[in-house]
């Protein structure tokens, strides 16, 4: 179905949601999001939130939290129900949500559909945890007790990226709700409608007013206010490392809790005893899913010398079969890039690779003609014989450009894998399991896959070492990120004069 049929009218719209009410920006201004697959079309019109709007949303979230609206903090059943109902609503509306994501991101429908299912699973998982926030209790020899209780961290400001807008939002919102927090979200300006559609569904579950607020608008205005406003207790940010560094520094000035999910430069280590077919297919998925615009994308293929030709040959063969095209076409394997600036960045890196004299083994061009002339389409591109220390080996490109480097032995593989500023994910392929395990332990990354290249189960974790971030999303760890632990000490002695008092009181 084309995205402009009757049941799916364009442009989509993204209002503000403050204190349960949809509304317009205080400035009266709006901004447009073009369709990256066909820039002649306006995909979305969104309200352009202001400082005033951000403050109103923060005030609403603060009041809802401090007033414990509808007993939000203690009535886990209310929160559990909101999460389970959201999961159901997301599944019931999967087709529409997938089309919204596909339209704004340029993500092929074949990838957008499972993306929606993954978001629903996240809501279900945290629905299951909302009623399991048990604390701990301990009795001291004196009879006094220590109770450690878990409490929501408070008002959470969430700033999200555009590349997987539903799962990125779900990974933050679902555990925050399970914990009993209240929320202000600033969505990426490329994907306001995708975020709004999810938040709108969440409001249909009967959320109390003020619990979940949405303010689209510029990062340096709306985002900045969320970060610096003293009424916000915690920032949960996903985006570029450079933005994350600045946000971490600003949040630090207020000793605000902060979690950062940032960029990556994932190595994929292939030893010469690897299953070539399985490893090559996994590599293709990791390299070109969502046109390489993924923090966990496979960006560096580190191949042992003995298997280089065979493995790379198969990877190139599969790469050349990738159909680049309009995201709504069922046959499309790879869609456009998100924007003209991202297209420029990708082309600049291709030029850097050529100027450095690396071997361009496939791709390397902007696509043109027919549908390509109206969107940001670039070929899947692989450079061989790349110096890992070069820009191509070091910097996050966020596009379909992959660097291949060879290694001699296990030590060199680990050294190359770790020789970047990032540490989000990595993959290891070897038939020798003890070796694969050894290497997995030695690579400094938040996730290392063995014989896989993209599994992100909600029961696991997601997060980075080094400059890929701080904190963990998903699983129990993702919930803990939205909780404080409080100690409540209760005297069990009943003594008016306890032995330590003698240090200050003589009689």
Interface contacts to ligand NDP, rule CB under 6 A = 159-163, 168, 186, 188-189, 218-220, 223-224, 227, 238-240, 243, 247, 261-264, 295, 396, 398, 424, 462, 464, 468-469
- Please identify, using beta-carbon distances, which residue of 15 and 464 lies nearer to ligand NDP: 464
151 belongs to the catalytic site: no
Q: Where are the beta strands (DSSP E) in 328-438?
A: 359-362, 381-384, 401-407, 422-423, 425-429
Task: Give the span between the Cα atoms of 386 and 406, in whole angstroms.
Answer: 9
Nearest approach, Cβ of residue 468 and ligand NDP (Å):
6
- Please identify, using beta-carbon distances, which residue of 112 and 307 lies nearer to ligand NDP: 112
- Please identify, using beta-carbon distances, which residue of 264 and 478 lies nearer to ligand NDP: 264
* Intra-chain end-to-end CA distance of the chain, in Å: 86
Nearest approach, Cβ of residue 58 and ligand NDP (Å):
14
The token pair that represents 406 in the structure block:
């060879």
What count of residues does the chain have?
Answer: 507
Nearest approach, Cβ of residue 470 and ligand NDP (Å):
10
- Please identify, using beta-carbon distances, which residue of 189 and 298 lies nearer to ligand NDP: 189
Per-residue CA distances from 3 to 9, 200, 266 (Å)? 8, 20, 34
Q: Is 157 within 8 Å of 227 (Cβ atoms)?
A: yes
Considering Cα of 197, then 198, then 199, then 200, what sign does the dihedral take?
positive
Our CA angle for 255, 177, 182, nearest 5°, is 50
14 belongs to the catalytic site: no
- Please identify, using beta-carbon distances, which residue of 239 and 393 lies nearer to ligand NDP: 239
- Please identify, using beta-carbon distances, which residue of 48 and 332 lies nearer to ligand NDP: 48
Q: Is 353 within 8 Å of 344 (Cβ atoms)?
A: no
Active-site annotation holder among 295, 379, 395, 473? 295
Nearest approach, Cβ of residue 398 and ligand NDP (Å):
5
- Residue 277, Cα to own-chain centre: how many angstroms? 29
- Please identify, using beta-carbon distances, which residue of 82 and 101 lies nearer to ligand NDP: 101
Closest CA to 13 of 43, 36, 44: 44
Nearest approach, Cβ of residue 469 and ligand NDP (Å):
5
Nearest approach, Cβ of residue 498 and ligand NDP (Å):
50
Environment class of 158 (CB within 10 Å of its CB; exposed 0-12, middle 13-18, buried 19+):
buried
- Please identify, using beta-carbon distances, which residue of 403 and 436 lies nearer to ligand NDP: 403
Spell out a b/e string for 165-202, using b for 16 or more CB atoms within 10 Å of the CB, else e: bbbbbbbbbbbbbbbbbbbbbbbbbbbbbbbbbbbbbb
Spell out a b/e string for 433-453, using b for 16 or more CB atoms within 10 Å of the CB, else e: eeebeebbebbbbbbbbebeb
Nearest approach, Cβ of residue 186 and ligand NDP (Å):
6
Task: Give the span between the Cα atoms of 378 and 463, in whole angstroms.
Answer: 29
Nearest approach, Cβ of residue 480 and ligand NDP (Å):
17
Q: Which is it for strands 257-261 and 234-238: parallel, antiparallel or unpaired?
A: parallel
Active-site annotation holder among 34, 197, 261, 396? 261
The token pair that represents 392 in the structure block:
């191509």
Catalytic residues: 261, 295
């Amino acid at each position: 179905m084309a995205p402009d049929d009757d049941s799916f009218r364009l442009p989509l719209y993204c209002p503000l949601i403050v204190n349960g009410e949809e509304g317009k920006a205080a400035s009266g201004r709006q901004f447009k999001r073009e369709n990256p697959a066909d820039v002649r079309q306006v995909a979305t019109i969104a309200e352009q939130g202001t400082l005033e709007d951000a403050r109103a949303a923060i005030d609403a979230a603060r009041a809802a939290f401090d007033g414990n609206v509808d007993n939000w903090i203690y009535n886990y059943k209310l929160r559990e129900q909101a999460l389970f109902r959201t999961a159901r609503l997301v599944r019931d509306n999967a087709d529409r949500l997938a089309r919204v994501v596909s339209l704004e991101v340029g993500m092929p429908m074949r990838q957008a559909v499972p993306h929606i299912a993954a978001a629903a699973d996240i809501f279900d998982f945290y629905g299951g945890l909302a009623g399991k926030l048990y604390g701990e209790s301990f009795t001291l020899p004196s009879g006094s007790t220590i109770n450690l209780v878990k409490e929501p961290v408070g008002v959470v400001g969430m700033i999200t990226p555009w590349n997987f807008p539903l799962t990125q939002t779900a990974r933050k919102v679902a555990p925050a709700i399970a914990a009993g927090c209240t929320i202000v979200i600033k969505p990426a300006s490329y994907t306001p409608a995708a975020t709004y559609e999810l938040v709108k569904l969440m409001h249909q579950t009967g959320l109390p007013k003020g619990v979940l607020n949405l303010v689209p608008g510029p990062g340096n205005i709306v985002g900045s206010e969320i970060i610096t406003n003293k009424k916000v207790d915690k920032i949960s940010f996903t985006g570029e490392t450079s933005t994350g560094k600045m946000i971490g520094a600003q949040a630090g000035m207020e000793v605000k809790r902060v979690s950062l999910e940032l960029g990556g430069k994932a190595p994929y280590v292939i030893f010469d005893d690897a299953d070539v077919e399985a490893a090559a297919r996994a590599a293709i998925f990791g390299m070109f899913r969502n046109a390489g615009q993924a923090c966990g994308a496979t960006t560096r293929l580190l191949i042992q010398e003995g298997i280089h030709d065979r493995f790379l040959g198969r990877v190139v063969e599969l790469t050349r079969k990738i159909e680049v095209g309009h995201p709504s076409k069922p046959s499309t394997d790879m869609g456009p890039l998100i924007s003209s600036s991202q297209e420029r960045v990708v082309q600049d890196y291709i030029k850097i690779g050529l100027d450095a004299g690396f071997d361009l083994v496939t791709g390397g061009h902007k696509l043109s003609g027919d549908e390509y002339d109206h969107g940001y389409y670039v070929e899947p591109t692989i450079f061989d014989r790349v110096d890992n220390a070069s820009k191509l080996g070091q910097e996050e490109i966020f596009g379909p450009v992959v660097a291949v480097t060879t290694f001699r032995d296990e030590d060199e593989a680990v050294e190359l894998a770790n020789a970047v500023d990032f540490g989000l994910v990595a993959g290891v392929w070897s038939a020798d399991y003890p070796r694969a395990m050894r290497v997995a332990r030695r690579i400094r990354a938040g996730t290392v896959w063995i014989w896989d290249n993209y599994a992100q189960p909600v029961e696991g974790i997601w997060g980075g070492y080094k400059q890929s971030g701080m904190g963990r999303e998903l699983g129990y760890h993702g919930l803990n990120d939205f909780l404080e632990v409080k100690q409540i000490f209760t005297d069990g002695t009943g003594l008016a004069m306890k032995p330590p008092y003698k240090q200050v009181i003589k009689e």
